[in-house]
């Protein structure tokens, strides 16, 4: 009969307990916070390496036929702005940014009241119902969700059929900016509502009641109480939704019928159809820098506003 180390499992547990005790030891207390952030730090470092690699590729010329890297050059960045394709790349970039900003703005307008309704409604049934409706888009995969919209927005889909009843032929909006916009909005609004809900929940309802008692209109209550106090949640929602929209791929590809590509679609084409990793890297970095600036800019402006106007007044 073969010897079996039956106590092996117990020894491992003892070892873990010992390790835990050592970690709790006073001399390790100081480095424990660093240990806790270490995994996140490693992940971010790996991402940084990836971005550095993209940067390295983007500053070299590249022969796609021979698959050979050339000398350091600004060739890839020049291609993004110079003829014959530069104008198209820049159009794609501006379409991506404008559409993302628009969808994010409309999502905020629609998502915040939805979050408020869920938090403040006294009806448990309504709260659950609205929450379920918000969560449904997340329960299905992105491709399934996008194809569901494809079926609705097509000429031979539900929208085309309804418009056909009024004598409007080919009334579908696939392949149009409106079609892509609706598809993106349907994902963004629930996301905003879910991200803003905790912030709204933290607002004391008595503040609203007090303001109303003092004669404030609902619009004033929103402007002076709800929006300022929900600001942390709103800011988080703007960052998440804007970044997700800027990186959108499926909606422009499927609902745009390939006619209204976003930067992510074009980067995909550059990588695969053109086999040019170097040009794709350059475009990826341009998008990364611009989207980072877009995220940072409002925070910088708000900070400046607080420093120079609000703080001075008080």
Partner 1 sequence: MRYFATNLKGAISGSVKLATIMALSVALIPTALTGISDASEPAAEPDKKPDRLIVRTWGGSWKDTYAKGAAASFTAKTGIPVEIDVTSFSEIQVKIQQSVNAKRRPPVDVVLTIGPMAYAAQVQKISMPLDKHLLTNLGELSSIGMPAGTTNYLNVSTYSQPIVYNPKVITMPAEISWNEIFDKKYAGKLFVTNTYSSLLYPVAKMLNLDLAKDDLTPAFKKIAELKNSISATGDEEEFVAGIEAGEVTVGITLAATALEVGGLKWIVPKEGSVVGTEAMYVPAGLPEHVSFYAQMFINEAISAANQGALAAGIGESPVNVKASIPDFMKGDPAFPLTDADIAKYGIVVPVDLDARNRDKWQAAYTAAIQK
DSSP state of 259: S
Read off the tokens for 281. Answer: 């890297």
Our CB check for partner 1 shows the closer of 111 and 172 to be 172
Our CB check for partner 1 shows the closer of 102 and 131 to be 102
Do 93 and 286 form a contact (C-beta atoms < 8 A)?
yes
CA distances from 164 to 65, 147, 259 (A): 50, 21, 24
Task: Report, in Å, the least distance between residue 107 CB and partner 1.
Answer: 24
Do 79 and 279 form a contact (C-beta atoms < 8 A)?
yes
Angle at alpha carbon of residue 71, lines to 65 and 77, rounded to 5°:
80
Do 234 and 112 form a contact (C-beta atoms < 8 A)?
yes
Our CB check for partner 1 shows the closer of 64 and 178 to be 64
Our CB check for partner 1 shows the closer of 197 and 277 to be 277
* Strands 60-63 and 68-72, bridge-based pairing: antiparallel
Our CB check for partner 1 shows the closer of 39 and 83 to be 83
Task: Report, in Å, the least distance between residue 84 CB and partner 1.
Answer: 5
Our CB check for partner 1 shows the closer of 224 and 259 to be 259
What's the CA dihedral at 49, 51, 52, 57 to 10 degrees?
Answer: 130
Task: Report, in Å, the least distance between residue 220 CB and partner 1.
Answer: 43
How does DSSP assign 186-218, residue by residue? HHHHHHHHHHHHHHHHTS-HHHHHHHHHTT--H
Read off the tokens for 133. Answer: 């409706």
Task: Report, in Å, the least distance between residue 279 CB and partner 1.
Answer: 8
Query: Which residues of the chain form contacts with partner 1 (CB under 8 A)?
Result: 64-67, 79, 84-85, 87-89, 91-92, 150-151, 154-157, 160, 170, 172, 174-175, 253, 257-261, 266, 269-277, 279
Task: Report, in Å, the least distance between residue 172 CB and partner 1.
Answer: 7
Read off the tokens for 287. Answer: 């998008």
Q: Which residue carries 């960052």 as its tokens? A: 239
Q: Which residue carries 């709204």 as its tokens? A: 200
Task: Report, in Å, the least distance between residue 245 CB and partner 1.
Answer: 19
Task: Report, in Å, the least distance between residue 65 CB and partner 1.
Answer: 5
Our CB check for partner 1 shows the closer of 217 and 272 to be 272
């Amino acid at each position: 009969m073969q010897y079996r180390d039956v106590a092996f499992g117990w020894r491992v547990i003892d070892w873990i307990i010992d390790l835990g005790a050592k970690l709790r030891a006073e001399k390790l207390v100081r480095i424990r916070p660093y240990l806790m952030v270490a995994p996140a730090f490693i992940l971010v470092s790996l991402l940084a390496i990836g971005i550095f690699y993209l940067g390295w590729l983007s500053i070299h010329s590249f022969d796609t036929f021979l698959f050979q890297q050339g000398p350091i050059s600004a060739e890839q960045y020049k291609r993004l702005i110079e003829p014959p394709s530069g104008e198209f790349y820049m159009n794609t970039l501006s379409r991506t940014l404008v559409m993302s900003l628009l969808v994010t703005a409309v999502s905020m307008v629609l998502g915040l009241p939805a979050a408020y309704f869920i938090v403040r409604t006294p009806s448990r049934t309504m709260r659950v119902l609205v929450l379920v409706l918000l969560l449904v888009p997340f329960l299905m995969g992105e491709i399934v969700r996008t194809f569901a919209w494809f079926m609705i927005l097509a000429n031979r889909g539900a929208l085309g059929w309804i418009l056909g009843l009024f004598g409007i032929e080919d009334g579908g909006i696939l392949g149009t900016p409106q079609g892509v916009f609706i598809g993106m909005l349907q994902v963004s609004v629930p996301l905003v509502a879910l991200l803003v809900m905790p912030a709204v929940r933290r607002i004391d309802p008595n503040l609203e009641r007090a303001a109303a008692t003092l004669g404030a209109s609902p619009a004033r209550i929103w402007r002076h109480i709800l929006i300022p106090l929900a600001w942390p949640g709103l800011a988080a929602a703007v960052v998440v939704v804007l970044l997700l929209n800027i990186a959108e791929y499926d909606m422009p590809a499927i609902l745009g019928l390939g006619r209204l590509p976003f930067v992510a679609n074009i980067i995909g084409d550059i990588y695969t159809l053109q086999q040019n990793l170097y040009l794709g890297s350059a475009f990826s970095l341009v998008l990364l820098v611009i989207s980072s600036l877009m995220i940072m800019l409002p925070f910088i402006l708000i900070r400046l506003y607080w420093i120079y106007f609000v703080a001075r007044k008080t």
